[in-house]
Amino acid sequence: MNDFLPEDEIRDRFSKAMSAMYQKEVPQYGTLIDLIEQVNAETLINQPDLAEKLRAQNELERLSVERHGAIRVGTPAELSGLRRLFAVMGMHAVGYYDLSEAGVPVHSTAFRPVNDNALARNPFRVFTSLLRLELIDNDELRKKAAEVLAHRRIFSAELIELIESYECAGGLSETEAERFVNEALKTFRWHQDATVDWQTYSALHDEHRLIADVVCFRGPHINHLTPRTLDIDEVQRRMPDVGIVPKSVIEGPPKRRCPLLLRQTSFKALEETIVFSDHHEGSHTARFGEIEQRGIALKPQGRALYDQLLTAARQQTKGLANDEHQSIMEKVFSRFPDDEQQLRIQGLAYFDYRLTLQAGSLEEVETTDLETAIEQGWVTATPITYEDFLPVSAAGIFQSNLGGEETSGYAGNANRQDFEQALGTRVVDELALYAKREKASLDALPFT
């Protein structure tokens, strides 16, 4: 019998090790975590109903585990290497995000667990972006960047060996898993010393700060981690009290009774001292901390409405501070139904259907229809949580930390095929995952 450590367990250990490393590397991130824990605790006291609901869903003990991190890589080989690394932890590429639209020369996916049990155990995901050198117009600069990237190795020999042994044997033993977590962590560590001289860094930085961030260092340092908060508006409000500068607005939908998709905010990236290969001392800003609050996954029709309202609101919210931004968003989003029944009946969002314990006689359930069964309390419909990302929000996060204005310089360049070729596989369609889960729950009900 093989005695493998479950992938979910490896992911759990890895995410905790990553969190410990990042708190040590970026002390402000530890401050953010303390603030979130305080706000979460207060929210649970002030909203006993929410506390009860979370307790019933076994959510309380994993409230404090990080929900996601983000990295950026420079070459197809690095991206496909990451695919193999994350597979060891049961994380697979889900979704394609084109950020060129928002003036950021990358396209991205999220490595994440895909099945319910794995998500329930630890939903840790890594938003992973691939730099698109082909979007750099300057020939000389593009060649220089490609050359620098061609020389770096972001995975240790020991890590590659462990990944190969996972692929051959189908798992890792306890001791191998321990070594794997250690070695994998090194890939995402911060390096104070750049691999290039000051002049090269500056030239790349002037093209786009992100290019310098990807090209000039030894590896894809983790650039943020993101815990979950129960009250993002409150955390945004209190960040300055603990000496943290928040980004100007909370991204995503406004506050709702039935939370939609994903809301995010972050603190601004820190300026950190860097020593360049010519011993020149300078600084680089890349690393920050983020928080998220997740809501229901939307069906294509709901998502179209979200995108439409977001676009309408964006024209009115440009440049506004968070409070005004949120109040305009609330107004614009009043067109989006805000109760679970309407979200369900109008086919706007995904739900998970379950037979309740007091489901009368099966016969009664069998001969009725879904809506009656829900009304009678024989079947419950629970919102399915959105596990993915939002490209417009992601662009907002990128921009606030790269100091970039929104530009359209790289726009109109979605190229999923290229991305999948670099990755070495197709990305999983996120909507198909939610649809499958909803359908499986419906199929398990005893209707005839």
Nearer to ligand OOG, 97 or 353 (CB): 97
Tell me the closest approach of the beta carbon of residue 394 to ligand OOG, in angstroms.
3
Query: How many chain residues bind ligand OOG (CB under 6 A)?
Result: 13
**The only residue of 93, 261, 397, 427 in contact with ligand OOG, by rule CB under 6 A:** 397
Per-residue exposure over 260-270, b if at least 16 CB sit within 10 Å of its own CB, e if not: bbbbbbbbbbb
> 257: which residues sit within 8 A by CB, 6+ positions away?
338, 339
Does 223 interact with ligand OOG (rule: CB under 6 A)?
yes
Residue nearest to ligand OOG (CB): 394
Does 388 interact with Ni ion (rule: CB under 5 A)?
no
- Give kind and range of the element (H or E) at residue 96: strand 92-98
Distance, CA of 285 to chain centre:
20
CB-CB contact of 130 with 108 (8 Å) = yes
Of these partners, ligand OOG, Ni ion, none, which one is at the site of residue 276 (CB under 5 to 8 Å by kind)? none
125-131 vs 106-112, strand pairing mode: antiparallel
- How far is the C-alpha of 238 from the C-alpha of 35, rounded, in Å? 8
Does 251 interact with Ni ion (rule: CB under 5 A)?
no
Nearer to ligand OOG, 129 or 236 (CB): 129
Tell me the closest approach of the beta carbon of residue 321 to ligand OOG, in angstroms.
21
Tell me the closest approach of the beta carbon of residue 168 to ligand OOG, in angstroms.
32
Nearer to ligand OOG, 207 or 290 (CB): 290
How many other CB atoms sit within 10 Å of the CB of residue 48? 9
With contacts defined by CB under 5 A, name the span among 25-33, 129-137, 169-177, 283-291 that binds Ni ion: 283-291
Among candidates 204, 87, 81, which has minimal Cα distance to 152? Answer: 81
With contacts defined by CB under 6 A, name the span among 172-180, 228-236, 390-398, 429-437 that binds ligand OOG: 390-398
Restricted to residues 61-80, the positions that interact with Ni ion (CB under 5 A) are 70
Restricted to residues 128-147, the positions that interact with ligand OOG (CB under 6 A) are 129
**Strands, DSSP E only, in 198-245?**
224-226
**The only residue of 78, 290, 388, 438 in contact with Ni ion, by rule CB under 5 A:** 290
Nearer to ligand OOG, 214 or 244 (CB): 214
Question: Tokens 């690393």 — which residue?
Answer: 287
Restricted to residues 183-242, the positions that interact with Ni ion (CB under 5 A) are 226
**The only residue of 109, 195, 385, 393 in contact with ligand OOG, by rule CB under 6 A:** 393
> 191: which residues sit within 8 A by CB, 6+ positions away?
217, 218, 219, 221
Of these partners, ligand OOG, Ni ion, none, which one is at the site of residue 72 (CB under 5 to 8 Å by kind)? ligand OOG
x/- contact string, 235-274, with ligand OOG (CB under 6 A)? -----------------------------x----------
Among candidates 319, 282, 232, 301, which has minimal Cα distance to 43? Answer: 232
Look up residue 129 and give its amino acid.
S
CB-CB contact of 76 with 422 (8 Å) = yes
Tell me the closest approach of the beta carbon of residue 74 to ligand OOG, in angstroms.
13
CB-CB contact of 267 with 245 (8 Å) = yes
The DSSP output letter for 297 is P
Residues found near ligand OOG in the complex (CB under 6 A): 70, 72, 127, 129, 223, 264, 290, 389, 393-394, 397-398, 401
